[in-house]
A = this chain, B = another copy of it.
Amino acid sequence: MQITVVGGGSWGTAFSCLLRDRGHRVTLACRDAHQVRAIEETGRNPRYLTTANLRGVDAAVIDDAPYDVDVIVLAVPSRAFADVAASLPGTAPVLSLTKGLDPATGQRLSTRVTGRPVAVLSGPNMAEELAEGLPSAAVIASEDRALADELQHAINSIVFRVYVNEDLVGVELCAAAKNVIALAAGGVDGLGLGDNAKASVITRGLVEMARLGEAFGAQPETFSGLAGMGDLIVTCFSGYGRNRRAGDLIARGHSADEAAAEIGQVVEGLTTAPVLRDLSHRAGVELPITEGVCSVLAGEDLQGLLGRLMGRRPTEE
């Protein structure tokens, strides 16, 4: 296949390598001409995932990349997704790797792709580990089953196992919400509350993710699958997890802006948290952990919030 990957961040970089290793002709489309030149000259991305060997992957600036291809992979931040999707020429199918919601409308990102088939890929996929050749697994979801099957066949390998999941809504909501729960889990780390408390927060986090999904017609099984629990776990425990790390820094007294600056890459949970909260209000679904994250991001004292939560009268699980 000929494939263009749009977005020269860590995941776009690692995914380009995976596709190249499966024998596809890959162009990595970046925003900066400087980044393109560096990749062409050194075979390395100069800013993100600098350890990955990009030899054999073409690089181009976004405006010059080929889009008359077999599939366009979008690996851009959620806040740029709608604009990038709207400006793509041609009718090639899109595979989205972006995990978040459209900030302007609160919609799932795949709804911003029009006039062409769309699929999404999600799972426990820390780019740094994939770049090291470590094994992982993911699901591809689409309303176009033939597209999902074709992409599964094109991408699956001995180190990157790809399953098909028909629940596009559930997979996208998992991908968006897990970053917000990871901010909370990172907060537990930052406060030094231990792994018992962290496991409890993650467990209740998945319950609230599934509750939101149910309101939008998602399948419960998706939330206990690779895109749900699998991705949530790795996002909350991996040393590479940006959202977990941001929560950790914020709990230690940094502002959200300081945490994002320290991490130096997009922290999707910070963008997604208020969008997800607004979505839950419109749907009439309670997301207590997401509400707590939004309160802390808006300036509420974290210790006070925790005391309030732990002091509630326990009931049935």
Chain A residues within CB distance 8 Å of chain B: 123-126, 129-130, 132, 134-137, 139, 152, 156, 158-159, 161-166, 193-200, 202-203, 206-207, 210, 220-221, 223-226, 229-231, 233-234, 237-240, 310-311, 314-317
Contacts and interface: CB of A to CB of B under 8 A. Distances in A.
Contacts of A164: 315-317
B230 A200 contact: yes
A311 B158 contact: yes
Contact of A310 (B135, B225, B315): B135
B229 A196 contact: no
Nearest to A136: B196
Tally of this chain's copies: 2
A263 to B, nearest CB: 18
Contact of A124 (B135, B137, B200): B200
Given A152-B314, A202-B233, A196 B165 contact: no
Which 3 residue pairs across A and B have the least CB separation, nearest first? A136-B196, A124-B199, A134-B194
20 contacts: A123-B196, A124-B196, A124-B199, A124-B203, A129-B196, A134-B193, A135-B197, A136-B200, A137-B197, A137-B314, A152-B314, A159-B310, A164-B315, A165-B317, A195-B238, A199-B233, A202-B230, A203-B224, A203-B230, A207-B224
Given A152-B314, A164-B315, A225 B203 contact: yes
A134 B196 contact: yes
Given A229-B229, A315-B163, A195 B234 contact: yes
A195 B314 contact: no
Contacts of A194: 126, 129, 132, 134-136
Nearest to A229: B203
A230 B204 CA distance: 9
Nearest to A127: B196
A194 B163 CA distance: 20
A181 to B, nearest CB: 12
Nearest to A152: B314
A132 B195 CA distance: 12
B224 A224 contact: yes
